[in-house]
Amino acid sequence: MWEILIELSADMFGATVHSRLGQLLLFCAAIFVLGVFLAVRWGPGGLVVPLGLLLLAVSAARQVSRARHDLWRAACLTLDDRGQRPASVRGQILAPTAASLARLAEAVDHVRRAQYAEASEILPEIHRDLLRPEEAQLLDAVRAMISIGLGATSRAARQAVIALPTGSDDLDACLGRTLLADAWHDPFRLHAIHSAWSRAGVQQGPLARLSDLVLLRIDVDALDRVEAPDARALADEARAVGDDALAAELDARSRPTAYR
């Protein structure tokens, strides 16, 4: 019961996917009327009740916002950062949205630490319909990472298609490499991947490097335009997707003296 009331309060303040502006206006009007009535009847002490209700609603919204913030810290901070690992919320009274975000944060942390069994156990507690689109992509990324942990790389590649970009460099790097390794000998899939990442606005981070690597694969002239400082990073990515020949060529280009 309390969880539902907290969720409705968070809804009113737009902290969930079920934002209800109309209910917020109605709630504020009701609080104002109640405050006026109680102040007239009981004096300033009568404002305790409406103020308490208002603070409860604001706290509910903050609870969801805090859970969302913790999720992105779990996804984006380095694993040795003290604030990366989400705190356990087991036993706390949470709005369903906050609970799903907290469970997702735990699952993201687990897959980043290669604890795939623990992450898999959490998945049934995460309700996709309570997540924003970018959070749902993180959920898809967790599923793909679990598939990688199980050795089902082809399934992981299919799941990575809808998960990328995730907003997490670690997840983007792992899933991006898995996706490219699976599609490396299929030019049509590589074209589609490159186009999808371009439409998504990928301009920096692991996916940007992998996008540049795809371009080397689908454009025979692109290799001649690679600058020596970029060749080393691209060589590492080529090696990660299993193309040792391309990696060797890029390694050679990263040493300008080799061409003198």
What's the one-letter identity of residue 7? E
For 179-238, write each residue's pLDDT tens digit: 999 999 999 999 999 999 999 888 889 999 999 999 999 887 888 888 888 888 899 999
pTM, 2 dp: 0.82
pLDDT (0 to 100) of residue 167: 92
Task: Give the pLDDT confidence score for residue 258 in this predicted structure.
Answer: 47
For 115-157, give the DSSP string: -HHHHHHHGGG--GGGS-HHHHHHHHHHHHHHHHHTT-HHHHH
| Token digits of residue 180 | 């490219």
Statement: residue 110 has pLDDT above 80: yes
Specify which of 13-27, 106-120, 202-216, 223-237 reaches the highest per-range mean pLDDT: 106-120
10 confidence band (pLDDT: 50, 70, 90): low
How many CA atoms are closer than 13 Å to the CA of 143, on its beta-carbon side? Answer: 20
* Cα→Cα distances 209→112, 129, 200, 235, Å: 20, 33, 15, 10
Asked whether the predicted pLDDT for residue 19 surpasses 90, the reply is no
Ramachandran quadrant class, 221 (left: phi over 0; alpha: psi -120 to 50; beta: rest) = alpha
| Among candidate residues 127, 188, 194, 138, the one with its CA nearest the CA of residue 164 | 138
- Going by the DSSP 8-state scheme, the letter that residue 221 receives in this structure is T
pLDDT at 53 over 70: no
**Residue recorded with tokens 């899939």:** 189
Q: Tokens in use for 240?
A: 């990660």
Among 18-32, 65-79, 89-103, the minimum mean pLDDT is found in 18-32
Instruction: Using a pLDDT cut of 90, give the percent of the chain over it.
Output: 58
Mean pLDDT of the chain: 84
Task: Determine the pLDDT at residue 254.
Answer: 81
- Is residue 37 over pLDDT 70? no
Q: Which residue has the higher pLDDT, 61 or 245?
A: 245
Residue 46, helix vs strand vs coil: helix
Question: If you average pLDDT over residues 26-37, what whole number do you get?
Answer: 58
Cα–Cα distance between 64 and 66 in angstroms, integer?
A: 5
How high is the pLDDT of residue 14?
61
Q: Quick one: pLDDT band at residue 78, thresholds 50, 70, 90?
A: very high
Q: Which residue has the higher pLDDT, 115 or 45?
A: 115
